Amino acid sequence: MFSWWNTSESTQEPPPPSYRDEPDNLPSNPHYAQLAKRLRPLDLPCLNVLRGKRVILASASPRRKELLSQIGLKDIDVVPSDFAEDLDKSRYTAIEYVMETAQEKCVSVYKQEIDSDDEPALVISADTIICSYMGAIVEKPLNYPDHLAMLKGLRDDEPHKVITAVCVMSPTPDGRSPGYLMETHVEETVVKFDKNVTDELIESYVRTGEGADKAGGYGIQGLGTILVESINGSFDNVVGLPLRGTLKAIEAVIFPQEVETDIVL
């Protein structure tokens, strides 16, 4: 019987035209946008406080914006951070690295926007990396050959970790020093690639361009799911924003006096 998993035929096509140049022009998965239109927003106090106020996403990722829209934060103002994301990886553990990057992104945009005529009520940033079985940090592919090597390495290696750090900042109501409240959250999900995925399938996936702007070079919410055998942990964390942890971080800065969270998910 014919099995497309093991076919050796491969059409030779040019690689996708763009990687880091204009990654956000790639189409986002319509599933999230359609789902968000059908759902009513969550009726949570921390989200209700933000209705009609300026909420900034310090990321150009359409997937993170779509995930936030699912919980009712639909009028997000996207202000990508200009942080260079060039921290010396040798000085950090994987968790320290992704957390520091998320914080730098958030602080950069917060400082930029807080003195504007329309200061934000909340700034949300996130950073996602993949940590290989051997502990190496795997980020976005640099080019077509790098993309191929990255996915083949993840297939041939043991399960890898997807680590996302979230940082949220909000002005203090009374202006008390330092003038803002900050809360962070970090989450890990273990992903296992199917070792039976062929080189030809990986090459075909890379040519679609879907994974060019994504940590690890694949999008689990899209065609990249054909590479994955299993995940252990939060699916939306792999997409790029762990919603449960993000909600708890938002509540912590909106209601800083509350010791116990009211969010039960």
DSSP 91: G
What number of CA atoms fall less than 13 Å from residue 176's CA on the CB side?
5
101 within 8 A of 58, measured Cβ to Cβ: no
For the chain, how big is the Rg over CA atoms in Å? Answer: 19
Active site positions, annotated: 127
H helices present in the chain, as ranges: 30-38, 45-48, 62-70, 94-113, 144-156, 199-208, 235-239, 243-254
Token pair of 69 as six digits:
């829209």
Torsion angle, CA of 100/163/63/256, rounded to 10 degrees? -60
Alpha-carbon gap, residue 169 to 180, rounded angstroms: 6
Token pair of 150 as six digits:
């990255």
189 within 8 A of 162, measured Cβ to Cβ: yes
